[in-house]
Amino acid sequence: MQSGLHSFRRTLLRSLRPSHKVYSTYAHAKRSWVLAGTTAVAVSSLALVFSAGFGNLILLEDETRNLDQQKRTVLAGGQELIPYDEVQKHATRGDCWVIIDGMVYDVTDFVSQHPGGAEVILRNAGKDATRIFKPLHPPDALDILDESQRVGPIDPLSVPALEEVETEEDKRIKEARKSLPPVDAMLLLQDFEDWGQRILSGTAWAYYRSAADSENTFHENRDAFRRYWLRPRILRKVGHGDTKTSFLGIDTETPIFISPAAMAKLGHPLGEVNLTRGAGKAGIVQAISANASCGLDEIMEAREEGQKVIYQIYLNKDRKASEILLQKVEKLKPAAVMFTVDVPWQSKRTMDTRAKNTVNPPIKDTAGGDKKSRAPLGVSEAIGGYQDRDLSWEDIAFIRRCISVPIIVKGVQSVEDIELCVKAGAEGVLISNHGGRSCDYAPAPIDILYELRCHRPDLFNQIDVLIDGGVRTGADVVKALALGAKAVGVGRPFLYANGTHGQEGVERVCEILQEEITNTMRNAGATKVSELVPEMCGLAGPWVGGNRPPYAPKI
């Protein structure tokens, strides 16, 4: 009997601990949380006292009492477990509790300040919010709350068992996964995108794929690469060679890097950790998103020995918060920081917002009153509320005072601003328009790179120039390298691949690009990246008249 009681006690205590495995973020997974289901049967009208080295767990009184009169379960240290029915009483804008990973939080003061809007909290007021919280937040996201807002652990025996409900979307994804090809059958980056649309949840697909307004820049980013053609040179020995190169002193096996892309957990439970591990296996650099759904420490611990990463930084409205973050980043020793400036104002990311309106239509505040409820925000808008909208060139100096590693300014969209980045002391620039997610009708990055090559080629010797946006093939990478880019960033394809095949998908994207880069380089007459020169790439059509670039060789 004693052995059985100890076994029961261990089972119950395990249920009190926060778990990172409670929910699967795959949309097709069963969405339920049955707490202490087997142990609750054993408790009916007994008072049980268990002894342990660290103290006693006391279950008080008969569980069949009227819930309004039920006493709370008390740990020997004096901490009370919060009954579920008590949490349900706090479900309004003026009095709001939620449960996350077994802990009850009072978020009343935070509701109106939540960057994702009050509705996402009010929709889950008085309930367990773990399932929607974890895919969108790193593990340390709750550290901003003070102790007074941590009400205490939920009493697992008071939580009703939830029925397993399979939604229509769950069924759709489950069926799609049955026909998902093995990762080696994915031959193009487009394959991952096509399957990602079928496999990912509606929320994940909308966030990853979404772009600004009418999405003109998004489409132009890809279409622009078709305007630039290679001019292969023949009778060159191309039997041996490699794709190794470096930028900002960072060595890489292939001249690509993972552009900072947030919310990888929307596609896979391991989130950005898969990107880190995949990049490590392939020997390329990952730029870690400032809005990653995994914690920074967790991502850094997933690196292979000697693996280099870049950390993206958005400056906070509270500069002290940014200073503290940069000090933490400095201690983790990234190879560089990527100061992101291409989202000075929040754009309307149409697909993302529509998806949230479909899944979570506006709700009426149960507290009543005249305050109108906002329409639900898309994931993009929900995670960016802390960003400063009043950036200036002086902020590069602010970052320099906080950190010693190279600074890359991400989001440069004109030759004029590249020159200003040089004057401001940045070591690198990333020509980017945020994947078409910020200013609609912004120019395609490859066009700005070509303009820089034609009119200010001297700047290539003063700052390392990177590019991302619209890259879907190894040939795209080779074109950018020939025009002067040191390396080329890829974002969405890695998120799609992570969603379909996890880490194996991330590694496969690297394999596909390396193969295509190698093939294109050698067929163009180059065996290494340094042999790719501007004379090998230009606008499509004959190089005559106005189509002849200023760097074209004399004939």
Q: Are 176 and 500 within 8 A, CB to CB?
A: no
Q: Are 541 and 278 within 8 A, CB to CB?
A: no
Beta bridge partners of 57: 50, 75
> Is 219 tagged catalytic?
no
Tokens standing for residue 377: 């925000």
Beta bridge partners of 230: 537
Q: Are 466 and 487 within 8 A, CB to CB?
A: yes
Q: Are 409 and 465 within 8 A, CB to CB?
A: no
Report which secondary-structure segment, H or E, holds 104. Answer: strand 103-106
The catalytically annotated residue of 28, 90, 434, 501 is: 434
Q: C-alpha distances in angstroms, 405 versus 307, 319, 326, 465, 505? A: 16, 19, 11, 17, 31
Q: HEC states along 460-515?
A: HHCCEEEEECCCCCHHHHHHHHHCCCCEEEECHHHHHHHHHHCHHHHHHHHHHHHH
Q: Are 449 and 467 within 8 A, CB to CB?
A: yes
Tokens standing for residue 205: 């697909």
Lateral strand order in the sheet of 48-50? 48-50, 57-59, 74-75
Residues involved in catalysis? 434
